[in-house]
Structure 1
Amino acid sequence: MGRTVLTRLFALVLVIHCTGWMGSSAATRVSLVDNGYVDLVFAISDAAPQDQSDIIIKNIKKMILDASPVLYVATGDRAYFKSVLILIPQSWKDVEANASSWETFEKADVIVDAPNPRHKDVPYTRQNGKCGERGEKIHLTPNYVATLDQENNNKVYGKPGKVFVHEWAHYRYGVFDEYGTRGDTNFPLFYRVQGEKKPVPNMCANKPAVFNVRDISNNSSDCKIDPVTKNYDENCAFDFNKFYRPDTSLASYHQIDSVVHFCKDNQEHAHKSEAPTKHNAMCGGVSVWTVIMRSPDFKDNKTKQVDLDKMPTEFNIVRSSGSRFVLVADVSDSMRICNRIDKLGESVRAWIKHDLPTGSKLGMIMFSSMAHVVSDLQVITDMNSRQEMMKKVPSQLFSATCIGCGLDLAVQMLQSSNSTETSGIIVLVTDGKNSPGYLTIADVQKDIIDAGIRVVSVAFGEQADKNIEQLADITDGKSYFIRDDDTSEALEQAFLGACTYQSSVNSSDLQFKLFERTASADQSPTDINGGFDVDPTVGRNLKLSIFNLEKLANLESMELTAPDGNVVSKIDYQTTTASVTEDLAMVGRWALNIKLNSPQTKSVLVTVTTQLRPDVKTPITTRCWVPNGADIKNANNNRIRIHAEVWKGSHPVTGATVKAFLVKPNDESEILDLLDNGVNADTVADDGVYSRYFTGATMKGRYTVKCQVVSNNDTAQGLGFFGSASPQLHGNLIDGNDIAVRSPVLPASLLVVHFRWRFPCKVTTLIHQVKSQILLSC
């Protein structure tokens, strides 16, 4: 059987400036205020059973309450945990919770989710950025949290508070493990120290390890030396002596009761720069303490004595109340150019009709020299409510551009509605710069941030205000760039991207593209034919669409032919778009045919989109991002990394062909092959993350990037995230028995790379079968 194709296109926009450099802000909202971390978000998935809800919530609180004084001591009286939000799943109906719309599972700092197949119940952090870069998130399992207090958990994983501080150091400060793993040639369990007759444990501690070795293959007290490495072989483990009591390191064996500090550069808590640990490899031998002190949290090096008994951690249990959207649309005269206002109206109506989730709320504001409410927040309940909102989409144009006016009114709408919530999602569409003398983005930026509002920015044309991407970036939103020669489909995908940013996203709401073809004007097309596969995972709401019709009369016919020969041909017309829809498509090979009466002076775009079948719960997910963020300055001095990640559940998908398609401000194109080979921009080989440096950003302006994932017969699934995990100890710290140290995880060759830098356009889902051709743009 030949190569099969599995593709998804996802687009993002970069803004290149000429001077200085500004990296992306991390997506997390956690901040350090008066020595206390606030707005730390735990998110519990549906994988956690409701009958364990009480114990899971109780133990999350216990873990943080235990961790707070540990962190305070470990950071030299610099930090503790001040406030925590716990986002519970919608399925936990009987749990009392406050309503909220800004916390999301996707953006949570800590998730309680189904076990990673590699880690099982071991707490770990998704992390493989560079030294000092924040991790993706901390992963705990429902079983680990529910059994937190059980004696065996404390023996194996350590005390909950210290476990969390160990992971927090990975996640927040970008440090790495200071222990070795049995069978790992890069970070071995033992290593040779000059002057020592035998290998010693690979760890960082301020006191020489006191230990006994044993061969786990025969349970003898002697270990064999490998003649090649001169180190103990992979069957060798060790037991700490019961009287061994070092002070460091929390990044190493934090299970030892006496360990309360990280290794430092001073004599008292001396760092072992020669030890072959992952931390030394990633950070060039610099101590964990030095990396932590370089964190933006501590850059001012301020310490403040805090009485933790008088500063208890505050907990808030929240549940998503449904997403609240406010469309803020530019209706200035410049929106006449290239028919922008009509494209906007058509796309907004399509979004309301087909994609806006039922139960969400939508408000609309238009702005020119002033801002006006087109519609207050209305709940989308059925097709009648959708039709009413579609009628209100603005089309009349006025003079001047006051972006700040539109944003300010949107903030008021979200705050003044009959709700205790203040957050929501603003979808800002504009094609120009703010007119002089009017309210600006900067004037309302603080109000937006304080209210917890995310902004999805849509830049119409190159002249759109460059500050809108920065606003989306700092509010943890997304950015889209629409060129004037783009079809209205590009705008529809931007609005669809806003939907995938709701507080709780169901897989059933996500869309896939099975076919995409552009027929250029100079081809004078009269017939457009094609085929695509519908595999067992998709087929719901199958939709054939043609965009950019100059006249609806130009379309003679369009039809879909099912595998059994049945033809679907009922056409739904919009302003410049027509579509044919099948509610639930048969699995198999489909054909499409479109006939045009006359040639077009503009190219047309033909797509086929669909959604998951009702019984499919775990599709492959994909992500495309740029660690530098959306707003890059002086790119000549910074190679721009582009990453694409493909995984199913916790399993990375390897062996795919991944390409990045870049369009520069002068409309020149460049194609990059993204590689998963562990070289240059790619940190680790065969981890499901494909990477490449882009060095062609030689001019300022907006760059669009599309990443295409093509799967073939060599595609495989790995075992999941390796990350940075807490080491497991098998023994008893409490009654004084020796501690047996064994390999906590498998070798690091299957590490999945994540960087916690926000990228402007988020890709959420990809079909997991390798039969279908899938082209998705976000």
Structure 2
Amino acid sequence: MRSLFGVLVWAGVLQAVSCHLPGDLRLVDNGFEGLVVSISEDLPQQHCNQILHGLKFVMTDFSSELHKATEGRASLREVTVVLPRTWQTDILSCSLLDPVNSIAVPTTTHLRVSNPHPVFGSNPWVQQSQGCGRHGDFIQLGGDLLRATTNDSYSHAAKLLMGVWPKFRWGVFDEHGYDNDLLYPATYMDPISGEMRINNCKDEQHPICDEDNHVPEAPNKHNAQCQGKSAWDVIMASQDFKDKRNTATNSSEALIPKFYFVQAGEPRIIIVVEDTAVMNLQKRWDFIRKAVRRVVVYDMPDDTHVGVVVFNSVARTTASLALMDSVSDIRQRIGSSMPRNPSHVPEKHKCILCGIQEALRALDMDPQGADGATIILLTSGAGATPKREMDEMVRLSTVRGIRIDAIIYPFTEQQTKLVNSHGLEKLVSTTHGSIYSVMDEGVGNDSKINMMISLMNSLLAAVRKASLVSSSGASLIVHSKAYPGGVSHVARGSFTIDDSISSDARFAVYYYDITHVGNTLELITPSGNIMSSVNMQEEDGDANVIFMNIPMTERGEWHYQVENRADSHQGLQIEVTSVESENRLIRLHIWTNVDSVNNTSSDPIIIYAEIKDGMLPILHAKVTAKVQRLGIDTNGNEHTPIYFYLQDNGLGDPDITGGDGVYSRYFPNIFHDNESLIHYELSVTAHNINGLAIKPLNNILSTSTQFFVEINDQSCCGKSIEYEHVTHIPPFQRTEMFGVIGLLSKPFNEDTVPPNRILDLWADINLELHKISFHWTAPGDDYDWGQAHHYEAVMAKSLSDALIFNGERINGMPTPLTVGFEQSMALITTRYDQFLYLVLRAVDEVGNHGEVSNIVSIYVPRPPATTTKAPSSTFLPFMDANYINNGFNLSYNEPAVRVARHKLEDIAIIIGSVSGFLIILAVFSTFCFFHVSRRQRQHHKNNNEILEANKNSMVKKNSAPLFNHNESTDSEASTMKVVDVKSVNG
């Protein structure tokens, strides 16, 4: 066994890892730094030594594989391993050389060690939510893969890891096909040799397919996503290597990585609040005090360290960092630590840098220090921060490894630049934080209750992000609804308590003034029992709330009614909160494809939402995004929110792979009067109220580690992941706030947004009819929104022509359907024994065309010689209907492809078949006519005979009629009818 003596560096002091957590994975001087490996809480403690021992050997071998695959351009310099919270590192089964430091859970982990996957087992796999050249979300592998006991096993695991690293880091895709996959088949006909060949790279043993071995015409996912570029070309164009960065070194040896072992600790949160004169207006300061109290006293999870800092021209700590619990009065003391009145320091004199520095000092008083902590910065959206101070804040946050979430309070309509006035956008983006906003809603000297609720929920969203991923975390909003005053005297509604949340819930009524809540407050359980608030309700005037704690809450649909006495410009807010179930952890994670809060480029924004039950993806859930424009409309009202579904369909643009639990869609294209930076707040709700959602079950056969399978020997996954065993899951509902997105809007007269790309085009060929059928899913008009205007398609002679959309234009394409619907067309060809390439794209009403689709290669062998005269056109239409003539000229002098008519022999066959059918129908009708006439005559004769016989019969009342069992059914019915009549008549 090889020794790694002198290579392993144990984190003896916290500062040793201060530059690693949280951090970006970066390639510096040919060595990757900042790689974070997390070990799942689900893995048992007794496997600790084996997993850590295997991880060290596998990652060291992986560094060598990476060095070799990149020809000396990259290897691994350092690895930070985050151990589970529940592991005890001072016992025999998990004995480490030095004490392990406790740090806050990093916001980003690159490699996850967990239980086996239902499809991939313990082998490494990558979740890829974005397209070509974009990094993957994470790598996951099973802990069993690291528990091997031989060097060969470690070496093989390192090769498997190297096989998926290019997909994770550089955004390449699989260059092989799959059995029974129509889009990415396992084999295809090679246009060069004319023979069937396996769909893969020529050198399948090399983890990166270079130009010499790349097969651009192969129908695989990489060629579809990257438009025929080789994996090597995509990698060399990445940020790691472009502009001659990290060129190949002369060293023949890879770096031996250093390992830093840390352990997930409790979250540490400092709430930093601006205390200037601007907060003196209306109820702004009062709402801040109530919001901070609510989130600290009621929503902050136990075992969280919390402190409070206020700042104006200077900063001070009003509550030192303290550990939350549910026994002592610490929550009350921290929640009441805000000053009762704001200062009179002008807003322009505020010093945000002072607030950040004071927060770091408060964190440094804790043994864990500031690294990995979260600062929630609550500040107004006006005033300017000097560039020098902003640069210092960015430097401090980067060096100390903190995340900053900003809440702009209050946001006013005049703030068109939002965070740009402070430069907070750069600060938040650098630290992987989020920005939230609270609209300024005032009525005279008062502020609306909506403003207070929005501030409370923004604080809660930031706290939830800082909570441990593996714990029940902060409060979860189960139900939230506003009831305006002056409309109805009773607020009625319902909510559902399912088994994905704790059995303890809190029903709360928030008010502006306590007199706005009447005496009636009732809850109706799913079983129909009425729970009155008498002797159950509690009041907290410091948070403007009346609430009822409901222990051991009955599962099902609850109903409530609350007397609403609010006036017309206020109202009541009903919220039900709980926490995640300890037995069922459902998490909703939201992100976008842009790193910056403000997207001022022409690149589109794509919204992603991942919904999982533990580590397993949830399929067929209803995932709805809500986009709320900030500010007010011309009538002085809030803008109408936009709701739309996200999809996990695997169509390729934007959703890369179906069945992975990642739902996505393009941000809607919203036009305005002129070009401007418009800000929206994004939130996402996922639910299974209809009961259709499912999740995969682990296949027992896939959980065993297969150490010596081929790297590319996978049965999955092309367009989507197919699971062998699935199960329906109980109802659930989750809502999370993402924060603010800035989007550069376009004027109404400038439509520059094209349809999205078609990436599921495939074909089948009927050799007898020489018919080629093409199938695809309709794209949108503006990316994946709406309905495109028309299609353009060409049949090219070469792959290079197809890539640039050069070839024989196909006229008569079907009219596009609404986005998401399947479409097809069929052609009959007489172009035999040659390879052709079909490509397709959609065009909107102003001529914006989408990118070229994936390329479909076609080969039709020449049929046996016949005496039938061949049609004059190269391609003849197979079906008429629903088409337009796009009027484009041909790219070269060959007949156009048109929607064609049937061949003469086909028409003759059809006419003969129809004529024969009509003759048979006529004969059959004549036979039926004479047969029915004969039966009617016989039926009439039998009735007369029975009536005559019954004249001499005596029938007792209610007696059973006697039947002649030899008579027909018709006779029985007649006899019974007559007997009944006589018996009734007596």
**TM-score range with shorter-chain normalisation?**
0.7 to 0.9
Query: d(CA) in 1 for partners of 2:177 and 2:43?
Result: 32
Query: d(CA) in 1 for partners of 2:646 and 2:269?
Result: 37
Q: 1:39 to 1:594 in 2, by over 3 A?
A: same
Q: 1:453 to 1:514 in 2, by over 3 A?
A: closer
Aligned positions of 1:547-626 closer than 5 A: 547-552=510-515, 554-562=517-525, 563=527, 564-568=529-533, 569-575=536-542, 576-613=544-581, 616-626=582-592
Contact 1:330/1:366 (CA < 8 Å) preserved in 2?
A: yes
Q: 1:607 to 1:776 in 2, by over 3 A?
A: farther
Query: d(CA) in 1 for partners of 2:262 and 2:361?
Result: 23
- For 1:624, the aligned partner's letter is I
Q: 1:165 to 1:370 in 2, by over 3 A?
A: same
Task: Give secondary structure in 2 for the equivalent of 1:297.
Answer: coil
Equivalent residue number for residue 636 of structure 2: none
Q: 1:681 to 1:747 in 2, by over 3 A?
A: closer
Contact 1:366/1:406 (CA < 8 Å) preserved in 2?
A: yes
Equivalent residue number for residue 245 of structure 1: none
Pair 1:451-2:419 in alignment? no
Q: CA deviation at 1:85?
A: 0.6
Contact 2:103/2:265 (CA < 8 Å) preserved in 1?
A: yes
Q: TM-score, normalised by structure 1?
A: 0.78
Q: CA deviation at 1:173?
A: 0.6
Q: 1:186 to 1:150 in 2, by over 3 A?
A: farther
Q: 1:409 to 1:546 in 2, by over 3 A?
A: same
Equivalent residue number for residue 336 of structure 2: 391
Equivalent residue number for residue 494 of structure 1: 458
Task: Give secondary structure in 1 for the equivalent of 2:456.
Answer: helix
Q: 1:171 to 1:287 in 2, by over 3 A?
A: same
Q: 1:656 to 1:159 in 2, by over 3 A?
A: closer
Instruction: Find 1:715's aligned residue among 673, 692, 715.
Output: 692
Q: CA deviation at 1:187?
A: 2.1
Query: d(CA) in 2 for partners of 1:134 and 1:438?
Result: 31
Contact 1:457/1:469 (CA < 8 Å) preserved in 2?
A: no
Q: CA deviation at 1:183?
A: 2.4
Query: d(CA) in 1 for partners of 2:254 and 2:68?
Result: 16
Contact 1:48/1:113 (CA < 8 Å) preserved in 2?
A: yes
Post-superposition Cα deviations, 1:748-776, rounded to whole Å, max 9, x if no partner, equal 42389xxxxxxxxxxxxxx9622x66666
Instruction: Find 1:65's aligned residue among 44, 60, 68.
Output: 60
Equivalent residue number for residue 823 of structure 2: none
Task: Give secondary structure in 1 for the equivalent of 2:537.
Answer: coil
Task: Give secondary structure in 2 for the equivalent of 1:326.
Answer: strand
Query: d(CA) in 2 for partners of 1:67 and 1:547?
Result: 56
Contact 1:129/1:135 (CA < 8 Å) preserved in 2?
A: yes
Deviates more, 1:108-117 or 1:71-80: 71-80
Task: Give secondary structure in 2 for the equivalent of 1:67.
Answer: helix
- For 1:556, the aligned partner's letter is N
Aligned positions of 1:203-242 closer than 5 A: 203-205=200-202
Instruction: Find 2:439's aligned residue among 483, 486, 495.
Output: 483
Aligned positions of 1:276-295 closer than 5 A: 276-295=219-238
Q: CA deviation at 1:390?
A: 2.0
Q: 1:88 to 1:773 in 2, by over 3 A?
A: closer
Aligned positions of 1:160-309 closer than 5 A: 160-196=157-193, 198-205=195-202, 248=203, 253-254=204-205, 259=206, 262-265=208-211, 269-302=212-245, 303=247, 305=249
Query: d(CA) in 2 for partners of 1:633 and 1:275?
Result: 36
Pair 1:533-2:479 in alignment? no
Task: Give secondary structure in 1 for the equivalent of 2:530.
Answer: coil
Post-superposition Cα deviations, 1:198-241, rounded to whole Å, max 9, x if no partner, equal 42222112xxxxxxxxxxxxxxxxxxxxxxxxxxxxxxxxxxxx
- For 2:683, the aligned partner's letter is K
Contact 2:683/2:735 (CA < 8 Å) preserved in 1?
A: no
Equivalent residue number for residue 633 of structure 1: 599
Query: d(CA) in 2 for partners of 1:580 and 1:660?
Result: 31
> How many residues are treated as equivalent by the alignment?
665
Aligned positions of 1:31-70 closer than 5 A: 31-70=26-65
Q: 1:439 to 1:579 in 2, by over 3 A?
A: farther
Equivalent residue number for residue 101 of structure 1: 103
Deviates more, 1:112-121 or 1:94-103: 94-103
Equivalent residue number for residue 655 of structure 1: 620
What's the RMSD between the two structures over aligned residues? 3.3
Instruction: Find 2:482's aligned residue among 518, 521, 525.
Output: 518
- For 2:303, the aligned partner's letter is G
Contact 2:492/2:562 (CA < 8 Å) preserved in 1?
A: yes
Q: CA deviation at 1:455?
A: 0.8
Query: d(CA) in 1 for partners of 2:191 and 2:598?
Result: 47
Unpaired runs of 5+ in structure 2?
1-20, 442-449, 633-638, 739-986
Post-superposition Cα deviations, 1:714-741, rounded to whole Å, max 9, x if no partner, equal 623254999xx9xx99978xxxxxx798
Q: 1:200 to 1:730 in 2, by over 3 A?
A: farther
Post-superposition Cα deviations, 1:87-137, rounded to whole Å, max 9, x if no partner, equal 111121134452242443x62100011222122222101114110100010
Aligned positions of 1:323-402 closer than 5 A: 323-381=267-325, 382-395=327-340, 396-399=342-345, 400-402=349-351
Query: d(CA) in 1 for partners of 2:221 and 2:389?
Result: 47
Q: TM-score, normalised by structure 2?
A: 0.62
Q: CA deviation at 1:338?
A: 4.3
Pair 1:696-2:670 in alignment? yes
Q: CA deviation at 1:300?
A: 3.3
Query: d(CA) in 2 for partners of 1:398 and 1:392?
Result: 19
Equivalent residue number for residue 211 of structure 1: none
Contact 1:40/1:109 (CA < 8 Å) preserved in 2?
A: yes
Post-superposition Cα deviations, 1:138-157, rounded to whole Å, max 9, x if no partner, equal 00111122127486x57xxx
Post-superposition Cα deviations, 1:675-700, rounded to whole Å, max 9, x if no partner, equal 42455544445654142431116442
Equivalent residue number for residue 441 of structure 1: 390
Deviates more, 1:80-89 or 1:390-399: 390-399
Unpaired runs of 5+ in structure 1?
1-25, 206-247, 733-738, 753-766
Contact 1:619/1:768 (CA < 8 Å) preserved in 2?
A: no
Q: 1:180 to 1:729 in 2, by over 3 A?
A: farther
- For 2:172, the aligned partner's letter is V
Pair 1:146-2:147 in alignment? yes
Q: CA deviation at 1:671?
A: 2.0
- For 1:283, the aligned partner's letter is C
Deviates more, 1:30-39 or 1:282-291: 30-39
Q: 1:741 to 1:592 in 2, by over 3 A?
A: closer
- For 2:624, the aligned partner's letter is K
Query: d(CA) in 2 for partners of 1:491 and 1:721?
Result: 42
Deviates more, 1:307-316 or 1:406-415: 307-316
Contact 2:467/2:473 (CA < 8 Å) preserved in 1?
A: no
Query: d(CA) in 2 for partners of 1:574 and 1:487?
Result: 17
Contact 1:518/1:605 (CA < 8 Å) preserved in 2?
A: yes
> Which stretches of structure 1, 4 residues or more, deviate above 6 A after TM superposition?
728-732
- For 2:452, the aligned partner's letter is S
Q: CA deviation at 1:507?
A: 4.2
Task: Give secondary structure in 1 for the equivalent of 2:229.
Answer: coil
Task: Give secondary structure in 2 for the equivalent of 1:538.
Answer: coil
Q: Which one has a bigger Cα radius of gyration?
A: 2
Q: CA deviation at 1:322?
A: 1.4
Q: 1:654 to 1:37 in 2, by over 3 A?
A: same
Query: d(CA) in 2 for partners of 1:34 and 1:296?
Result: 13
Equivalent residue number for residue 133 of structure 2: 132
Equivalent residue number for residue 730 of structure 2: 769
Query: d(CA) in 2 for partners of 1:342 and 1:438?
Result: 32
Q: 1:537 to 1:62 in 2, by over 3 A?
A: same
Contact 1:488/1:547 (CA < 8 Å) preserved in 2?
A: no
